[in-house]
Amino acid sequence: MISYQEAYKIVIATKTNFGIEEVELLESTGRVLAEDIKADRDFPPFNRSTKDGIAVNSEEIRLHKPIKIEGVCAAGSTQKTLENAENCMEIMTGAVLPQNTDAVIMYEEIDITGDFVTITKPFKKDQNIHKKGSDQKKGEIILRSNTFISAGEIGILATVGKSIVKVQKLPKIAIISTGNELVDINETPLPHQIRMSNSLTLKALLDQRKIESEILHLPDEKDVLEVKIREALNKFDVLLLSGGVSKGKYDFLPEVFEKLKVEKLLHRVAQQPGKPFWFGESKETGTHVFSFPGNPVSTFVNFHLYFRDWLLAGSGIHPQDQKVVLKSAIENLSNLTKFLLVKVENSAGILTAELINGNGSGDLISLSKSSGVIKVNPNSKHSDNKEFTYIHFD
């Protein structure tokens, strides 16, 4: 049995890039950018007022001395010129600063009587002006390739007029559950049966990442598994399976993969949950096969530990470790890397974890109480308030 670190390396080493495609701007949310985005003009594109008030030439006016209003500058109007430097122009937030002016004074700091204003508070040159090009200069890179696109990036893409965006292509995935005990969610299970849940959980996780997937359920019958998995290998880039990989009499998958010439890269990892994990690759079809142990917590945790990082690595994103502080003392006297369910909260800027008591990897209800897992190394003892690597759930 190999260690978690070795298993992780083996999986990540097979990272795959699925190419590039173009999508409409709003379709790109949640995807990975596949081009550098440059500023198409200076940001801001002109000296911009940041307040509603008056624009003045700070050299030519005095505090408490009446100043004539020459005109009004609205956002969206072309640039005006202050003809007499001893006068002022009313100006609105977002408007172009008129020529011959160098400061903006807020309405709250002036008194207006008819066509005249008096300034009631000291002022300085350049105040309340968002200078042309101060955020970014034309031609500079404002978003780098391999950036994850969330709402903030959508705004940036919109402002440079990217209605079509180049993004990393996503793999096509088959979700395959196995087991004679499983019935469809619309059925009422008999006492010895349960409703299938892993495939739906996996589908939800992929949907969140906009990855297209198909669900397939197979019985614990070697012949059927062989035929259907062969078809899936020919059709999909990735297979995510659950169940049928441990030591049981009906755990046929390792044998079926061998028959179908899917090269085994690892089977069984010194970790808990998720120990019977099987991973391999079909050289013939290029399909990556993640065969997760059937217990719901094992499938869910292994998806995050291995598949998520493999997917990100293929898109050129290197997952960063997150650290959390565990309030309680803990020991792991086994030779397995343990992934313990936790609920993490932000307490005064420190991510603090609390252990969730579950009934092992078959306890699917415990997942909804957890925000992720912490990694506890084999044969280790820790006093309270120690830092651990945290893997958060999607």
Nearest to 289 by CA among 351, 243, 236: 236
- Which of 76, 72, 67 is CA-nearest to residue 45? 76
- Sign (positive or negative) of CA dihedral 206, 207, 213, 214: positive
Other CB atoms within 10 Å distance of the CB of residue 259: 14
Q: Which does 242 bind (CB under 5 to 8 A by kind): Mg ion, ligand LQZAQKY5, ligand MOO, none?
A: ligand LQZAQKY5
**245 lies in the site for ligand LQZAQKY5, by CB under 6 A:** yes
Which residue stretch of 27-35, 216-224, 242-250, 332-340 sits at the interface with Mg ion (rule: CB under 5 A)?
Answer: 242-250
Sign of the dihedral defined by the CA atoms of residues 368, 370, 374, 378, in that order? negative
Interface residue with Mg ion among 101, 177, 199, 246 (CB under 5 A) is 246
Q: Which of 246, 287, 302, 337 binds ligand LQZAQKY5 (CB under 6 A)?
A: 246
Residues 330-369 interacting with ligand LQZAQKY5 (rule: CB under 6 A): 361-362
CB nearer ligand LQZAQKY5, residue 296 or residue 372: 296
Residue 100 is which amino acid? N
- Is 29 one of the binding residues for ligand LQZAQKY5 (CB under 6 A)? no
Q: Residue from 1, 13, 72, 194 that binds ligand LQZAQKY5 (CB under 6 A)?
A: 194
Among 48, 275, 288, 338, binds ligand MOO (CB under 6 A): 275
User: Residue 57 or residue 272: which is nearer to ligand MOO going by CB?
Assistant: 272
Is 248 a binding residue for Mg ion by CB under 5 A? The answer is yes
Q: How far is the CB of 293 from ligand MOO (least distance, A)?
A: 4
Q: Check binding of 362 to Mg ion (CB under 5 A).
A: no
Is the bond leading into 378 cis (omega within 30 degrees of zero)? no
Q: Give the per-residue contact string, 290-329, with ligand MOO (x = CB under 6 A; - = no).
A: ---x-x--x-------------------------------
Confirm if 284 and 261 have CB atoms less than 8 A apart. yes
- How many other C-beta atoms are found inside a 10 Å radius of the C-beta of residue 4? 23
Spacing of C-alpha 324 from chain mean position? 19
337 is an interface residue for ligand MOO by CB under 6 A: no
Least distance between ligand MOO and beta carbon 272 (Å): 5
Cβ atoms within 10 A of the Cβ of 186, count?
A: 6
Residue 177 and residue 203 in contact, taking contact as beta carbons nearer than 8 Å: no
Parallel, antiparallel, or unpaired for β 182-183 and 110-113? Answer: unpaired
Name beta bridge partners: 372: 342, 392
The residues near 27 (Cβ < 8 Å, ≥ 6 apart) are: none
Stretch that binds ligand LQZAQKY5, among 72-80, 143-151, 189-197, 372-380 (CB under 6 A): 189-197
- Residues within the interface to ligand MOO (CB under 6 A): 272-275, 293, 295, 298, 361
